[in-house]
Amino acid sequence: MKKDELHSELDTLVATQAGLMAIVGSLMATHPEYEKFQLHLTGLLEVLLTGEAGKNFSPKQRQQARDFVETLQHLNKAPSKIEPLAEMPNL
């Protein structure tokens, strides 16, 4: 693979990860059982990183996965009513 192709693939991967973080973050923030979701996610991450599924992860990969999930867990629960157009002036 040529350097330009590799760079393009890396750009796509970074952009896809950013998009996925936005999607998953929104799903987490609006989940009807937010606290349960957070608790389950924490437990599942530990199982993944320390269990059979994660046995081939390098220490760096484990830390990166943990950082990724913990970043998402810092999202606050969304308010019960979201009205994105409420602040727009009437035209």
pLDDT of 13-48, one tens digit each?
A: 999 999 999 999 999 999 999 999 999 999 999 999
pTM: 0.70
pLDDT for res 56: 92
Helix ranges, the chain (H): 3-29, 34-50, 59-73
What integer pLDDT is reported at residue 41 of this predicted model?
93
Looking at residue 33, its pLDDT comes to: 93
Question: Which of residues 8 and 82 earns the better pLDDT score?
Answer: 8
Contacts of 47 (CB under 8 A, 6+ apart): 53
Q: What is the mean pLDDT of the chain?
A: 90
Residue 90 has pLDDT above 80, yes or no: no
Task: Give the pLDDT confidence score for residue 53 in this predicted structure.
Answer: 85
